[in-house]
Structure 1
Amino acid sequence: MRFVRRTDRKARQAARAALPDLIELVIIGVRAGLTPSAAFTMSAEHAAPSLGPALDAVAHEMQRGRRLSDALAVLPQFLGADAGFFTDALITADRYGLPLGPMLDQLGAEVRADRSRQAQRHARTLPVKLSFPLVVCTLPSFVLLAIAPAVLGAVSTITGS
Protein backbone atom coordinates (compact mmCIF):
# COMPACT_ATOMS: atom_id res chain seq x y z
CA MET A 1 0.00 0.00 0.00
CA ARG A 2 2.80 2.37 0.91
CA PHE A 3 4.63 1.57 -2.34
CA VAL A 4 1.50 2.36 -4.36
CA ARG A 5 1.11 5.73 -2.65
CA ARG A 6 4.78 6.56 -3.19
CA THR A 7 4.56 5.59 -6.87
CA ASP A 8 1.38 7.60 -7.30
CA ARG A 9 2.96 10.61 -5.60
CA LYS A 10 6.04 10.38 -7.84
CA ALA A 11 3.84 10.10 -10.93
CA ARG A 12 1.89 13.19 -9.91
CA GLN A 13 5.10 15.11 -9.24
CA ALA A 14 6.44 14.13 -12.66
CA ALA A 15 3.16 15.25 -14.26
CA ARG A 16 3.31 18.60 -12.44
CA ALA A 17 6.90 19.04 -13.58
CA ALA A 18 5.84 18.40 -17.20
CA LEU A 19 2.90 20.84 -17.06
CA PRO A 20 4.98 23.88 -18.19
CA ASP A 21 5.97 21.99 -21.32
CA LEU A 22 2.31 21.26 -22.06
CA ILE A 23 1.49 24.95 -21.65
CA GLU A 24 4.29 25.87 -24.05
CA LEU A 25 2.99 23.35 -26.58
CA VAL A 26 -0.50 24.83 -26.38
CA ILE A 27 0.95 28.32 -26.83
CA ILE A 28 2.78 27.13 -29.95
CA GLY A 29 -0.42 25.59 -31.30
CA VAL A 30 -2.48 28.72 -30.69
CA ARG A 31 0.23 30.91 -32.22
CA ALA A 32 0.19 28.60 -35.26
CA GLY A 33 -3.50 29.39 -35.76
CA LEU A 34 -5.16 26.36 -34.21
CA THR A 35 -8.36 26.59 -32.19
CA PRO A 36 -7.95 25.98 -28.45
CA SER A 37 -9.33 22.44 -28.72
CA ALA A 38 -7.12 21.60 -31.71
CA ALA A 39 -4.09 23.12 -29.97
CA PHE A 40 -4.81 21.08 -26.85
CA THR A 41 -5.24 17.89 -28.89
CA MET A 42 -1.98 18.54 -30.75
CA SER A 43 -0.22 19.25 -27.46
CA ALA A 44 -1.55 16.07 -25.89
CA GLU A 45 0.02 14.02 -28.67
CA HIS A 46 3.47 15.52 -28.05
CA ALA A 47 3.36 15.94 -24.28
CA ALA A 48 5.47 14.03 -21.77
CA PRO A 49 4.35 10.49 -20.95
CA SER A 50 3.83 11.45 -17.30
CA LEU A 51 0.88 13.60 -18.39
CA GLY A 52 -0.65 10.64 -20.22
CA PRO A 53 -3.43 9.68 -17.78
CA ALA A 54 -4.62 13.26 -17.34
CA LEU A 55 -4.58 14.06 -21.05
CA ASP A 56 -6.17 10.72 -21.91
CA ALA A 57 -9.04 11.54 -19.57
CA VAL A 58 -9.57 14.91 -21.28
CA ALA A 59 -9.32 13.32 -24.74
CA HIS A 60 -11.83 10.65 -23.70
CA GLU A 61 -14.29 13.30 -22.58
CA MET A 62 -13.84 15.19 -25.85
CA GLN A 63 -14.39 12.01 -27.88
CA ARG A 64 -17.64 11.49 -26.02
CA GLY A 65 -18.83 14.78 -27.47
CA ARG A 66 -18.12 17.19 -24.64
CA ARG A 67 -16.68 20.61 -25.37
CA LEU A 68 -13.11 21.37 -24.42
CA SER A 69 -14.28 23.65 -21.63
CA ASP A 70 -16.28 20.82 -20.08
CA ALA A 71 -13.63 18.16 -20.64
CA LEU A 72 -10.89 20.26 -19.01
CA ALA A 73 -12.66 20.04 -15.66
CA VAL A 74 -11.00 16.64 -15.29
CA LEU A 75 -7.45 18.01 -15.60
CA PRO A 76 -7.13 19.63 -12.13
CA GLN A 77 -8.21 16.35 -10.54
CA PHE A 78 -5.07 14.72 -11.93
CA LEU A 79 -2.64 17.63 -11.73
CA GLY A 80 -3.96 19.49 -8.71
CA ALA A 81 -4.14 23.24 -8.31
CA ASP A 82 -1.07 23.71 -10.53
CA ALA A 83 -3.24 23.24 -13.60
CA GLY A 84 -5.95 25.64 -12.38
CA PHE A 85 -4.79 28.80 -14.16
CA PHE A 86 -4.07 26.91 -17.35
CA THR A 87 -7.47 25.24 -17.47
CA ASP A 88 -9.24 28.47 -16.51
CA ALA A 89 -7.60 30.28 -19.43
CA LEU A 90 -8.55 27.54 -21.89
CA ILE A 91 -12.11 27.27 -20.52
CA THR A 92 -12.63 31.03 -20.71
CA ALA A 93 -11.35 31.19 -24.27
CA ASP A 94 -13.45 28.21 -25.35
CA ARG A 95 -16.70 29.28 -23.70
CA TYR A 96 -16.68 32.99 -24.38
CA GLY A 97 -14.50 33.23 -27.46
CA LEU A 98 -11.97 35.52 -25.80
CA PRO A 99 -8.53 35.79 -27.40
CA LEU A 100 -6.37 33.08 -25.94
CA GLY A 101 -3.00 34.42 -27.08
CA PRO A 102 -2.52 37.19 -24.50
CA MET A 103 -3.71 35.00 -21.63
CA LEU A 104 -1.39 32.19 -22.62
CA ASP A 105 1.51 34.59 -23.11
CA GLN A 106 1.07 35.84 -19.54
CA LEU A 107 0.68 32.29 -18.24
CA GLY A 108 3.75 31.16 -20.19
CA ALA A 109 5.81 34.00 -18.73
CA GLU A 110 4.70 33.06 -15.21
CA VAL A 111 5.46 29.38 -15.81
CA ARG A 112 8.93 30.17 -17.16
CA ALA A 113 9.63 32.45 -14.18
CA ASP A 114 8.43 29.75 -11.78
CA ARG A 115 10.60 27.14 -13.49
CA SER A 116 13.57 29.50 -13.25
CA ARG A 117 12.92 30.05 -9.53
CA GLN A 118 12.75 26.29 -8.97
CA ALA A 119 16.02 25.77 -10.85
CA GLN A 120 17.69 28.49 -8.79
CA ARG A 121 16.37 26.98 -5.56
CA HIS A 122 17.69 23.58 -6.63
CA ALA A 123 21.06 25.12 -7.51
CA ARG A 124 21.27 26.75 -4.08
CA THR A 125 20.89 23.35 -2.38
CA LEU A 126 23.75 21.82 -4.37
CA PRO A 127 26.60 23.12 -2.16
CA VAL A 128 24.88 21.70 0.91
CA LYS A 129 24.50 18.32 -0.77
CA LEU A 130 28.13 18.35 -1.92
CA SER A 131 29.56 19.30 1.47
CA PHE A 132 29.43 15.73 2.82
CA PRO A 133 31.44 14.17 -0.05
CA LEU A 134 33.82 17.11 0.12
CA VAL A 135 34.50 16.60 3.82
CA VAL A 136 34.60 12.80 3.68
CA CYS A 137 36.77 12.44 0.56
CA THR A 138 38.79 15.60 0.11
CA LEU A 139 39.70 16.48 3.68
CA PRO A 140 41.37 13.13 4.51
CA SER A 141 43.35 13.21 1.27
CA PHE A 142 44.47 16.75 2.03
CA VAL A 143 45.61 15.66 5.47
CA LEU A 144 47.50 12.67 4.05
CA LEU A 145 49.15 14.57 1.21
CA ALA A 146 49.88 17.96 2.75
CA ILE A 147 49.90 17.86 6.52
CA ALA A 148 51.18 14.32 7.24
CA PRO A 149 54.53 14.79 5.37
CA ALA A 150 55.10 18.13 7.14
CA VAL A 151 54.42 16.56 10.55
CA LEU A 152 56.60 13.53 9.77
CA GLY A 153 59.41 15.82 8.60
CA ALA A 154 59.15 17.87 11.76
CA VAL A 155 59.10 14.76 13.96
CA SER A 156 62.12 13.25 12.15
CA THR A 157 64.01 16.52 12.51
CA ILE A 158 63.29 16.71 16.24
CA THR A 159 64.16 13.08 16.91
CA GLY A 160 67.23 13.17 14.63
CA SER A 161 68.94 16.04 16.53
Structure 2
Amino acid sequence: MDFLLGLFSRVTANEEVARLLFLGAIGLSTVLAVVALILLMMGLQDPVQRRLALIKRGHLGNTAGQEAPGNLQLLLERVGQRFGSAESAQKSVTQTLLMHAGYRSSSAVQMYWAVRLMLPLLLIGIALLALPMIPKVSLIMGLLLVFLVAGIGWLVPALYVAKRKQLRQGRLRAAFPDALDLMVVCVESGLALPTTIERVAEEMSVGQVDLAEELALVNAQIRAGISSTEALKQLAVRTGLDDIQGLVSLLAQSIRFGTSVAETLRIYADEFRDRRTQAAEEMGAKIGTKLVFPLIFCLWPSFFLVAIGPAMIGVLRAFG
Protein backbone atom coordinates (compact mmCIF):
# COMPACT_ATOMS: atom_id res chain seq x y z
CA MET A 1 0.00 0.00 0.00
CA ASP A 2 2.65 2.51 1.08
CA PHE A 3 4.76 1.56 -1.90
CA LEU A 4 1.95 2.14 -4.41
CA LEU A 5 0.99 5.37 -2.65
CA GLY A 6 4.60 6.51 -2.94
CA LEU A 7 4.57 5.78 -6.67
CA PHE A 8 1.44 7.89 -7.12
CA SER A 9 3.04 10.69 -5.07
CA ARG A 10 6.08 10.71 -7.34
CA VAL A 11 3.90 11.04 -10.43
CA THR A 12 1.54 13.75 -9.15
CA ALA A 13 3.96 15.53 -6.77
CA ASN A 14 0.98 16.08 -4.45
CA GLU A 15 0.24 13.73 -1.56
CA GLU A 16 -3.50 14.52 -1.33
CA VAL A 17 -4.10 13.99 -5.06
CA ALA A 18 -2.03 10.82 -4.95
CA ARG A 19 -4.11 9.51 -2.04
CA LEU A 20 -7.36 10.23 -3.88
CA LEU A 21 -6.10 8.54 -7.05
CA PHE A 22 -4.93 5.56 -5.04
CA LEU A 23 -8.28 5.13 -3.28
CA GLY A 24 -10.16 5.60 -6.55
CA ALA A 25 -8.06 2.95 -8.32
CA ILE A 26 -8.57 0.46 -5.47
CA GLY A 27 -12.32 1.09 -5.37
CA LEU A 28 -12.75 0.80 -9.13
CA SER A 29 -10.71 -2.40 -9.38
CA THR A 30 -12.62 -3.96 -6.46
CA VAL A 31 -16.01 -3.10 -7.99
CA LEU A 32 -15.01 -4.46 -11.40
CA ALA A 33 -13.62 -7.68 -9.91
CA VAL A 34 -16.73 -8.29 -7.80
CA VAL A 35 -19.09 -7.56 -10.71
CA ALA A 36 -17.17 -9.89 -13.03
CA LEU A 37 -17.16 -12.74 -10.51
CA ILE A 38 -20.88 -12.27 -9.77
CA LEU A 39 -21.81 -12.32 -13.46
CA LEU A 40 -19.70 -15.40 -14.18
CA MET A 41 -20.85 -17.35 -11.12
CA MET A 42 -24.50 -16.47 -11.69
CA GLY A 43 -24.27 -17.84 -15.19
CA LEU A 44 -22.71 -21.06 -13.88
CA GLN A 45 -25.00 -21.56 -10.90
CA ASP A 46 -28.17 -20.95 -12.92
CA PRO A 47 -29.58 -24.49 -13.51
CA VAL A 48 -30.82 -23.63 -16.98
CA GLN A 49 -27.48 -22.17 -18.09
CA ARG A 50 -25.52 -25.05 -16.59
CA ARG A 51 -27.81 -27.60 -18.26
CA LEU A 52 -27.40 -25.89 -21.62
CA ALA A 53 -23.63 -25.81 -21.20
CA LEU A 54 -23.55 -29.54 -20.38
CA ILE A 55 -25.79 -30.41 -23.35
CA LYS A 56 -23.58 -28.34 -25.64
CA ARG A 57 -20.53 -30.29 -24.43
CA GLY A 58 -22.29 -33.62 -24.94
CA HIS A 59 -22.87 -34.48 -21.26
CA LEU A 60 -26.52 -35.50 -21.10
CA GLY A 61 -27.17 -35.50 -17.40
CA ASN A 62 -26.75 -38.92 -15.82
CA THR A 63 -25.40 -40.67 -18.89
CA ALA A 64 -23.24 -43.59 -17.80
CA GLY A 65 -19.54 -43.43 -18.50
CA GLN A 66 -19.45 -39.64 -18.77
CA GLU A 67 -18.08 -37.34 -16.11
CA ALA A 68 -19.58 -33.87 -16.00
CA PRO A 69 -17.07 -31.00 -15.91
CA GLY A 70 -16.66 -28.88 -12.81
CA ASN A 71 -17.48 -25.24 -12.30
CA LEU A 72 -13.87 -24.16 -12.93
CA GLN A 73 -13.77 -25.84 -16.32
CA LEU A 74 -17.12 -24.36 -17.32
CA LEU A 75 -15.91 -20.97 -16.10
CA LEU A 76 -12.79 -21.16 -18.27
CA GLU A 77 -14.82 -22.27 -21.26
CA ARG A 78 -17.24 -19.37 -20.80
CA VAL A 79 -14.35 -16.89 -20.56
CA GLY A 80 -12.82 -18.36 -23.70
CA GLN A 81 -16.11 -18.08 -25.56
CA ARG A 82 -16.49 -14.44 -24.50
CA PHE A 83 -12.99 -13.25 -25.28
CA GLY A 84 -11.66 -15.80 -27.75
CA SER A 85 -10.88 -14.96 -31.34
CA ALA A 86 -14.03 -14.61 -33.42
CA GLU A 87 -12.25 -15.05 -36.76
CA SER A 88 -12.87 -18.48 -38.24
CA ALA A 89 -9.41 -18.64 -39.81
CA GLN A 90 -7.67 -17.89 -36.51
CA LYS A 91 -9.91 -20.39 -34.73
CA SER A 92 -9.11 -23.01 -37.35
CA VAL A 93 -5.37 -22.45 -36.91
CA THR A 94 -5.65 -22.69 -33.12
CA GLN A 95 -7.82 -25.80 -33.35
CA THR A 96 -5.30 -27.45 -35.69
CA LEU A 97 -2.44 -26.58 -33.33
CA LEU A 98 -4.29 -28.05 -30.34
CA MET A 99 -5.24 -31.13 -32.36
CA HIS A 100 -1.60 -31.75 -33.25
CA ALA A 101 -0.72 -31.33 -29.56
CA GLY A 102 -3.26 -33.99 -28.58
CA TYR A 103 -6.16 -31.81 -27.40
CA ARG A 104 -9.17 -32.99 -29.41
CA SER A 105 -11.91 -31.87 -27.02
CA SER A 106 -14.71 -29.71 -28.38
CA SER A 107 -13.90 -27.07 -25.76
CA ALA A 108 -10.12 -27.11 -26.25
CA VAL A 109 -10.06 -23.81 -28.15
CA GLN A 110 -12.13 -22.02 -25.50
CA MET A 111 -9.97 -23.41 -22.68
CA TYR A 112 -6.81 -22.37 -24.54
CA TRP A 113 -7.92 -18.76 -24.99
CA ALA A 114 -9.23 -18.58 -21.43
CA VAL A 115 -5.86 -19.66 -20.03
CA ARG A 116 -4.02 -17.21 -22.30
CA LEU A 117 -6.24 -14.38 -21.07
CA MET A 118 -6.40 -15.19 -17.36
CA LEU A 119 -2.76 -16.19 -16.78
CA PRO A 120 -1.38 -12.68 -17.59
CA LEU A 121 -3.95 -11.13 -15.21
CA LEU A 122 -2.94 -13.54 -12.46
CA LEU A 123 0.76 -12.83 -12.97
CA ILE A 124 0.12 -9.07 -13.01
CA GLY A 125 -1.60 -9.37 -9.63
CA ILE A 126 1.33 -11.36 -8.24
CA ALA A 127 3.79 -8.81 -9.64
CA LEU A 128 1.92 -5.92 -8.03
CA LEU A 129 2.01 -7.72 -4.69
CA ALA A 130 5.73 -8.45 -5.06
CA LEU A 131 6.77 -4.92 -6.13
CA PRO A 132 6.87 -3.51 -2.56
CA MET A 133 9.42 -6.22 -1.67
CA ILE A 134 11.87 -4.92 -4.30
CA PRO A 135 13.94 -2.06 -2.82
CA LYS A 136 14.48 1.21 -4.69
CA VAL A 137 12.38 0.45 -7.76
CA SER A 138 11.16 3.38 -9.84
CA LEU A 139 7.79 3.79 -11.49
CA ILE A 140 9.18 3.11 -14.95
CA MET A 141 10.96 -0.05 -13.82
CA GLY A 142 7.80 -1.22 -12.06
CA LEU A 143 5.72 -0.71 -15.20
CA LEU A 144 8.32 -2.50 -17.31
CA LEU A 145 8.30 -5.40 -14.88
CA VAL A 146 4.49 -5.60 -14.98
CA PHE A 147 4.45 -5.55 -18.80
CA LEU A 148 7.20 -8.18 -18.88
CA VAL A 149 5.24 -10.45 -16.57
CA ALA A 150 2.08 -9.95 -18.65
CA GLY A 151 3.98 -10.83 -21.84
CA ILE A 152 5.38 -13.97 -20.22
CA GLY A 153 1.90 -15.00 -19.10
CA TRP A 154 0.58 -14.48 -22.64
CA LEU A 155 3.38 -16.44 -24.32
CA VAL A 156 3.81 -19.37 -21.90
CA PRO A 157 0.60 -21.26 -22.93
CA ALA A 158 1.47 -20.92 -26.62
CA LEU A 159 5.03 -22.13 -26.02
CA TYR A 160 3.76 -25.03 -23.92
CA VAL A 161 1.29 -26.15 -26.60
CA ALA A 162 3.95 -25.81 -29.33
CA LYS A 163 6.42 -27.87 -27.28
CA ARG A 164 3.79 -30.50 -26.58
CA LYS A 165 2.99 -30.66 -30.29
CA GLN A 166 6.67 -31.13 -31.13
CA LEU A 167 7.12 -33.91 -28.55
CA ARG A 168 3.95 -35.70 -29.62
CA GLN A 169 4.85 -35.58 -33.30
CA GLY A 170 8.32 -36.87 -32.39
CA ARG A 171 6.77 -39.85 -30.58
CA LEU A 172 4.43 -40.53 -33.50
CA ARG A 173 7.28 -40.28 -35.99
CA ALA A 174 9.41 -42.68 -33.94
CA ALA A 175 6.57 -45.22 -33.60
CA PHE A 176 5.47 -45.04 -37.23
CA PRO A 177 8.14 -47.42 -38.70
CA ASP A 178 7.19 -50.21 -36.26
CA ALA A 179 3.52 -49.74 -37.06
CA LEU A 180 4.30 -49.84 -40.78
CA ASP A 181 6.20 -53.12 -40.43
CA LEU A 182 3.35 -54.65 -38.43
CA MET A 183 0.86 -53.52 -41.07
CA VAL A 184 2.93 -55.16 -43.80
CA VAL A 185 3.01 -58.46 -41.87
CA CYS A 186 -0.74 -58.36 -41.13
CA VAL A 187 -1.78 -57.50 -44.69
CA GLU A 188 0.48 -60.16 -46.20
CA SER A 189 -1.00 -62.73 -43.82
CA GLY A 190 -4.46 -62.09 -45.35
CA LEU A 191 -6.07 -59.57 -43.01
CA ALA A 192 -8.18 -56.74 -44.38
CA LEU A 193 -7.05 -53.14 -43.93
CA PRO A 194 -9.55 -52.27 -41.09
CA THR A 195 -8.67 -55.47 -39.24
CA THR A 196 -4.98 -54.71 -39.78
CA ILE A 197 -5.34 -51.25 -38.29
CA GLU A 198 -7.23 -52.67 -35.30
CA ARG A 199 -4.59 -55.36 -34.68
CA VAL A 200 -1.71 -52.90 -34.96
CA ALA A 201 -3.45 -50.55 -32.52
CA GLU A 202 -3.82 -53.41 -30.02
CA GLU A 203 -0.18 -54.44 -30.38
CA MET A 204 1.14 -50.89 -29.93
CA SER A 205 -1.14 -49.88 -27.06
CA VAL A 206 1.54 -50.69 -24.48
CA GLY A 207 4.67 -49.02 -25.83
CA GLN A 208 3.32 -46.34 -28.19
CA VAL A 209 0.11 -45.00 -26.69
CA ASP A 210 -0.25 -41.93 -28.94
CA LEU A 211 -0.13 -43.83 -32.22
CA ALA A 212 -2.30 -46.63 -30.80
CA GLU A 213 -5.00 -44.10 -29.88
CA GLU A 214 -4.91 -42.55 -33.35
CA LEU A 215 -5.16 -45.94 -35.06
CA ALA A 216 -7.99 -47.00 -32.73
CA LEU A 217 -9.83 -43.80 -33.66
CA VAL A 218 -9.34 -44.62 -37.36
CA ASN A 219 -10.76 -48.08 -36.76
CA ALA A 220 -13.76 -46.62 -34.90
CA GLN A 221 -14.45 -44.23 -37.78
CA ILE A 222 -14.32 -47.07 -40.31
CA ARG A 223 -16.77 -49.08 -38.20
CA ALA A 224 -19.05 -46.04 -38.02
CA GLY A 225 -19.36 -46.03 -41.81
CA ILE A 226 -16.58 -43.68 -42.93
CA SER A 227 -14.52 -44.98 -45.82
CA SER A 228 -10.97 -46.17 -45.18
CA THR A 229 -9.51 -43.45 -47.37
CA GLU A 230 -11.39 -40.66 -45.57
CA ALA A 231 -10.50 -42.06 -42.13
CA LEU A 232 -6.81 -42.20 -43.07
CA LYS A 233 -6.99 -38.63 -44.42
CA GLN A 234 -8.40 -37.47 -41.09
CA LEU A 235 -5.53 -39.35 -39.37
CA ALA A 236 -3.03 -37.35 -41.43
CA VAL A 237 -4.82 -34.10 -40.53
CA ARG A 238 -4.89 -34.94 -36.80
CA THR A 239 -1.20 -35.85 -36.62
CA GLY A 240 0.20 -33.27 -39.06
CA LEU A 241 2.98 -35.63 -40.22
CA ASP A 242 4.13 -35.69 -43.83
CA ASP A 243 5.04 -39.39 -43.52
CA ILE A 244 1.46 -40.37 -42.72
CA GLN A 245 0.19 -38.05 -45.45
CA GLY A 246 2.36 -39.89 -47.99
CA LEU A 247 1.09 -43.25 -46.75
CA VAL A 248 -2.52 -42.07 -47.03
CA SER A 249 -1.97 -40.92 -50.62
CA LEU A 250 -0.44 -44.26 -51.60
CA LEU A 251 -3.19 -46.28 -49.92
CA ALA A 252 -5.88 -44.12 -51.53
CA GLN A 253 -4.38 -44.76 -54.97
CA SER A 254 -4.05 -48.47 -54.22
CA ILE A 255 -7.69 -48.76 -53.12
CA ARG A 256 -8.88 -46.68 -56.06
CA PHE A 257 -7.02 -48.63 -58.79
CA GLY A 258 -7.33 -52.06 -57.13
CA THR A 259 -3.62 -52.76 -56.69
CA SER A 260 -2.15 -54.82 -53.88
CA VAL A 261 -2.25 -53.04 -50.53
CA ALA A 262 0.51 -55.28 -49.18
CA GLU A 263 2.84 -54.37 -52.05
CA THR A 264 2.04 -50.68 -51.57
CA LEU A 265 2.85 -50.89 -47.86
CA ARG A 266 6.09 -52.76 -48.54
CA ILE A 267 7.23 -50.18 -51.11
CA TYR A 268 6.41 -47.30 -48.79
CA ALA A 269 8.20 -49.05 -45.90
CA ASP A 270 11.34 -49.29 -48.05
CA GLU A 271 11.05 -45.64 -49.07
CA PHE A 272 10.52 -44.62 -45.46
CA ARG A 273 13.63 -46.48 -44.35
CA ASP A 274 15.62 -44.73 -47.09
CA ARG A 275 14.30 -41.33 -45.93
CA ARG A 276 15.14 -42.16 -42.34
CA THR A 277 18.68 -43.14 -43.37
CA GLN A 278 19.08 -39.91 -45.33
CA ALA A 279 17.80 -37.89 -42.35
CA ALA A 280 20.35 -39.60 -40.08
CA GLU A 281 23.15 -38.87 -42.57
CA GLU A 282 22.05 -35.23 -42.78
CA MET A 283 22.11 -34.89 -39.00
CA GLY A 284 25.57 -36.45 -38.93
CA ALA A 285 26.83 -34.03 -41.58
CA LYS A 286 25.65 -31.08 -39.47
CA ILE A 287 27.72 -32.11 -36.46
CA GLY A 288 30.91 -30.49 -37.79
CA THR A 289 29.20 -27.14 -38.21
CA LYS A 290 27.50 -27.34 -34.81
CA LEU A 291 30.84 -28.07 -33.10
CA VAL A 292 32.33 -24.77 -34.29
CA PHE A 293 30.64 -22.71 -31.58
CA PRO A 294 31.61 -24.98 -28.62
CA LEU A 295 35.18 -25.04 -29.94
CA ILE A 296 35.35 -21.26 -30.19
CA PHE A 297 33.74 -20.40 -26.86
CA CYS A 298 34.89 -23.32 -24.68
CA LEU A 299 38.06 -25.00 -25.96
CA TRP A 300 40.01 -22.25 -27.70
CA PRO A 301 40.18 -19.87 -24.70
CA SER A 302 41.64 -22.67 -22.60
CA PHE A 303 44.09 -23.57 -25.38
CA PHE A 304 45.30 -19.98 -25.75
CA LEU A 305 45.58 -19.65 -21.97
CA VAL A 306 47.80 -22.73 -21.76
CA ALA A 307 49.84 -21.95 -24.90
CA ILE A 308 50.34 -18.19 -24.58
CA GLY A 309 49.84 -17.72 -20.84
CA PRO A 310 53.41 -18.59 -19.72
CA ALA A 311 54.93 -16.42 -22.46
CA MET A 312 52.75 -13.47 -21.48
CA ILE A 313 53.72 -13.91 -17.82
CA GLY A 314 57.40 -13.91 -18.84
CA VAL A 315 56.95 -10.73 -20.91
CA LEU A 316 55.19 -8.97 -18.04
CA ARG A 317 57.93 -9.96 -15.64
CA ALA A 318 60.65 -8.75 -18.06
CA PHE A 319 59.05 -5.34 -18.56
CA GLY A 320 57.62 -5.21 -15.06
TM-score with structure 1 length normalisation?
A: 0.73
**CA distance in 2: counterparts of 1:140 and 1:4, whole angstroms:** 37
Instruction: Show CA shifts across 1:41-90 (max 9, x none).
Output: 22223443332453232022134355544533421221345323322444
- Judging by fraction of residues, say which structure has more helix: 1
Pair member with larger Rg: 2
CA root-mean-square deviation: 3.2
Residue identity (%): 28
**CA distance in 2: counterparts of 1:51 and 1:71, whole angstroms:** 14
CA contact (8 A) 2:197 2:215 kept: no
CA contact (8 A) 2:198 2:216 kept: no
After superposition, residues 132-147 of structure 1 pair within 5 angstroms as 132-147=293-308
Given the alignment of the two structures, is residue 159 of structure 1 paired with residue 315 of structure 2, yes or no? no
The code of the aligned residue for 2:165 comes to: R
Partner of 2:272: 111
Q: Which has the higher contact order (CA 8 A, sep 6+)?
A: 1
After superposition, residues 87-126 of structure 1 pair within 5 angstroms as 87-91=248-252, 98-126=259-287
Question: Which of residues 231, 234, 251 in structure 2 aligns to 1:74?
Answer: 234
* 5+ long unaligned stretches in structure 1: none
The count of aligned residue pairs is 158
Instruction: Show CA shifts across 1:11-31 (max 9, x none).
Output: 345434543332222123224
Instruction: Show CA shifts across 1:87-128 (max 9, x none).
Output: 244445567763222211211111111111211222222222
The code of the aligned residue for 1:6 comes to: A
Partner of 2:245: 84
Q: CA deviation at 1:34?
A: 3.1
Given the alignment of the two structures, is residue 9 of structure 1 paired with residue 169 of structure 2, yes or no? no
CA contact (8 A) 2:171 2:210 kept: yes
**CA distance in 2: counterparts of 1:82 and 1:64, whole angstroms:** 26
**CA distance in 1: counterparts of 2:160 and 2:298, whole angstroms:** 37
